[in-house]
Amino acid sequence: MKTVSFQGAQLTTGQRERLEQQRRIQSMLNPVLAEQVAQTIAVLDVRKEQGIQPEKQWVTISDTRGTVSIAEWMGY
């Protein structure tokens, strides 16, 4: 976590409002993110216990080599 110190610096009204808004949003998001991570880890643990293979994340659509011609690119 980044710590920012504004000792000796003067903030404008807009800067103070943005800083306060960032602090409010961060305080709300941290518990939500922590809960989502905990839920995901729990689901993964259950899947591991049941012996379910992980979902495939990457699928190869095309495995071609070389330069595509203009005709192929345009669909002819």
Domain extent, residue 16, equals 11-53
pTM, two decimal places: 0.41
Structural domain includes residue 37: yes
Structural domain includes residue 3: no
Structural domain includes residue 22: yes
One-letter amino acid identity for 41?
A: I
Averaged pLDDT of the chain: 81
Give the pLDDT confidence of 33-65 residue by residue, as tens digits. 888 988 998 998 898 888 887 777 777 777 777
Structural domain includes residue 27: yes
Contact 19, 11 (CB under 8 A): yes
Residue 74 has pLDDT above 90, yes or no: no
Number of compact structural domains in the chain: 1
Token look-up 């293979």 returns 53
